[in-house]
Amino acid sequence: VGCKAILVFFQYGVMANFYWLLVEGLYLHILLVLIFSPNRHFTVYLLIGWGIPTIFIITWTVTRIILEDTGCWDTNEHGGPWWVIRIPILISIIVNFILFISIIRILLQKLRSPDVGGNDQSQYKRLAKSTLLLIPLFGVHYTVFALFPDRSSNNYKIIFELCLGSFQGLIVAVLYCFLNSEV
């Protein structure tokens, strides 16, 4: 029971990570689109970041108990329970990628406006810098292996996610907290 509880908590942490990345993307998108929005939607963000993973982890736990209650739940012989976690994560990755593209489009429009000074090369440098700063914030690197089956790309996926994913929190903390004069 203890092993299963730890695995449930682990899966919850993984899913919450993806949904908090989605909350960051939604928040930034709303800041750029709705400039004068007095409402910060904090409760909605909490429900998305903690609530949606809770619902799907409870559903996953029930399906594991009913369909595949063997061992410590660390193997997936039947695909059904695994997709209860995988589909919401894939949806959050896809929505976050769409928000990422939308924000890049907004930044490109703002850089092309006549109010922004500088030549074309400096504008594209700003766009490239902004894009590179947004990649860890949105978790765009997860889209690389998001739609591949786990069995076909597992070795490459592990190496890729360990190299990039393990530094994601550090990169976000350095770029958005430690190097931010407002913080």
The reply to whether 80 falls in a domain is yes
40 with 65, same domain: the answer is: yes
Residue 144 is part of which domain span?
122-182
Q: How deeply is 153 buried, as exposed, middle or buried, from its count of CB atoms within 10 A (0-12, 13-18, 19+)?
A: middle
How many angstroms separate the CA atoms of 123 and 100, rounded? Answer: 19
Q: What is the DSSP string of 132-154?
A: HHHHHHHTGGGGGTTTS-HHHHH
Number of domains in the chain: 2
**What's the whole-number mean pLDDT along residues 71-98?**
84
For residue 117, tell me if it sits in a domain: no
- This prediction has a pTM of 0.76
- Is 96 in the same domain as 20? yes
Residue 176: inside a domain, yes or no? yes
Check pLDDT > 90 for residue 88: yes
How far does CA 33 lie from the centroid of its chain? 20
* Whether the predicted pLDDT of 53 surpasses 70: yes
Judge if 178 and 98 occupy the same domain: no
Q: Are residue 45 and residue 130 in the same domain, yes or no? A: no
Q: How confident is the model at residue 54 (pLDDT cuts 50, 70, 90)?
A: very high
Domain co-membership, 93 together with 135: no
